[in-house]
């Protein structure tokens, strides 16, 4: 049975959810894919670094993290940074979940490049690495006979990139449109329920889906980065978030929300792109949708995209949040697992 050694650069909510998911799916991976795994390297931002090519005790690492302690005592080498973890882990696969840098994609791109160079598959949840490093990293992966996969970067665990790669071969994507930022969608849903913008932002901070500075979400940056990633990969056109015409939701007032409601409509932060010839035009902006729109029923932490191709009618892929629960890291962690299984099976 093939055994794969895994390195985690980043051990935040998503990385730790993946560590727990790998444990939960251990038997299923063995039975259905004949695959077993061990974690041989972990790099955290505030809890240190640990490496053991023979396999780290992941339960202990999770426990130390919860206790606010360093994971360094688990390490058999004295490692002091992420690249050292990569080099000493002996890993076959890197899971890159370090914090996103919208402007440069660093240091995630360095992590991914190094891992590919020393012969690892690279699986990332990092949008910055895709937007700023896709062509280089995809080409490097091809040269090395490895995979560079990033399903987790857009729509959490919902398959998008793999649907085009595997489900829609030889299809040409001409346009897409959707709701791809959960935080703003929760804010708008909360405002429909009567909250002010500030109250809705506070609500999102309270359930852990908005940061102290909510600008990346409410000003449309997160959506713009995702649009850039989708355009770069699925339309095969390098594209940066700065090329996206971007309007956030700060201008949406409770009065506008109620006015839309009175017309049977709703405000949504809609991300879209169209390719005409070689030119791509992309926007992120609030739009009113009516009840005949598939986005009307997309409330709270739900998100979804519709795609125009040359071979089908409009294809929509939508993930709804689970019955009022705030969006958690589990679906994103699942996307990393799915990429891993696609990288190693066959």
Note the residues at the interface with a copy of itself (CB under 8 A). Answer: 21, 25, 28-29, 32-33, 151, 156-159, 162-163, 165-172, 291-294, 296-297, 299, 301-302, 304, 306, 311-322, 327, 330-331, 334, 337-338, 341-342, 345-346
Q: How many CB atoms lie within 10 A of CB 27?
A: 8
Strand partners, 95: 8, 123
Give the integer Cα–Cα distance in Å for 305 and 160. Answer: 9
| CB of residue 338 to a copy of itself, shortest distance in Å | 5
Helix (H, G, I), strand (E, B) or coil at 167: helix
Give the residue from 272, 300, 215, 294 showing the smallest Cα distance to 249: 215
Q: Which is nearer to a copy of itself, 67 or 311 (by Cβ)?
A: 311
Q: Which is nearer to a copy of itself, 168 or 256 (by Cβ)?
A: 168
| CB of residue 242 to a copy of itself, shortest distance in Å | 30
Q: How far is CA 30 from CA 8, 91, 95, 271, 343, in A?
A: 21, 19, 20, 39, 15
Helix (H, G, I), strand (E, B) or coil at 170: coil
| CB of residue 107 to a copy of itself, shortest distance in Å | 29
| CB of residue 321 to a copy of itself, shortest distance in Å | 5
**Those residues with Cβ within 8 angstroms of residue 47's Cβ, 6 or more apart along the chain or in another chain:** 11, 64, 65, 68, 69, 70, 71
| CB of residue 4 to a copy of itself, shortest distance in Å | 14
**Those residues with Cβ within 8 angstroms of residue 98's Cβ, 6 or more apart along the chain or in another chain:** 9, 10, 43, 45, 82, 107, 108, 111, 126
Q: Which is nearer to a copy of itself, 28 or 59 (by Cβ)?
A: 28
Q: Which is nearer to a copy of itself, 247 or 342 (by Cβ)?
A: 342
| CB of residue 191 to a copy of itself, shortest distance in Å | 17
Give the residue from 108, 116, 118, 161 showing the smallest Cα distance to 141: 116
| CB of residue 93 to a copy of itself, shortest distance in Å | 15
Q: Which is nearer to a copy of itself, 27 or 255 (by Cβ)?
A: 27
| CB of residue 17 to a copy of itself, shortest distance in Å | 11
Q: Which is nearer to a copy of itself, 162 or 287 (by Cβ)?
A: 162
Calculate the dihedral angle through the C-alpha atoms of 59, 60, 61, 63, rounding to the nearest 10 degrees: 90
Half-sphere exposure of 201 (CA within 13 A, CB side): 15
**Whether 179 contacts 295, CB under 8 Å:** yes
Q: Which is nearer to a copy of itself, 138 or 337 (by Cβ)?
A: 337
| CB of residue 170 to a copy of itself, shortest distance in Å | 5
Q: List helix spans (H) across 25-81.
A: 26-33, 58-66
Q: How many CB atoms lie within 10 A of CB 63?
A: 12
């Amino acid at each position: 049975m093939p055994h794969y050694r895994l390195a985690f650069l980043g051990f935040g909510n998503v990385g730790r959810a993946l560590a727990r998911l790998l444990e939960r799916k251990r038997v299923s991976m063995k039975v259905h894919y004949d695959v077993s795994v061990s974690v041989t390297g972990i790099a955290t931002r505030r809890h240190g670094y640990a490496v053991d090519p023979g396999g780290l005790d992941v339960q202990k690492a999770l426990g130390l993290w919860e206790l606010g302690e360093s994971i360094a005592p688990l390490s058999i080498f004295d490692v002091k940074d992420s690249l050292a973890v990569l080099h000493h882990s002996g890993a076959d696969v890197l899971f890159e979940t370090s914090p996103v840098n919208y402007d440069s994609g660093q240091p995630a791109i360095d992590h991914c490049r190094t891992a590919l160079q020393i012969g690892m598959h690279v699986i990332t949840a990092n949008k910055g690495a895709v937007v700023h490093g896709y062509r280089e990293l995809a080409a490097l992966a091809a040269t090395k006979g490895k995979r560079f996969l990033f399903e987790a970067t857009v729509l959490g665990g919902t398959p998008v990139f793999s649907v085009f790669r595997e489900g829609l071969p030889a299809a040409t994507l001409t346009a897409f449109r959707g709701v791809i930022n959960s935080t703003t969608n929760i804010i708008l849903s909360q405002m429909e329920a009567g909250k002010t913008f500030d109250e809705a932002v506070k609500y999102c901070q309270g359930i852990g889906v908005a940061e102290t500075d909510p600008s990346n979400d409410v000003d449309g940056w997160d959506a713009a980065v995702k649009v850039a990633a989708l355009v770069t990969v699925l339309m095969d056109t390098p594209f940066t978030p700065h090329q996206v015409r971007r309007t956030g939701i700060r201008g949406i007032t409770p009065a506008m929300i109620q006015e839309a409601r009175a017309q049977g409509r709703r405000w949504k932060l809609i991300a879209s792109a169209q390719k005409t010839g070689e030119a791509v035009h992309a926007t992120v902006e609030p739009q009113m949708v009516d009840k005949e729109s598939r986005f009307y029923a997309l409330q709270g932490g739900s998100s979804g995209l519709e795609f125009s191709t040359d071979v089908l009618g409009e294809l929509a892929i939508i993930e709804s949040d689970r019955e009022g629960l705030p969006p958690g890291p589990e679906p994103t962690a699942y996307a990393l697992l799915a990429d891993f299984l696609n990288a190693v099976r066959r």
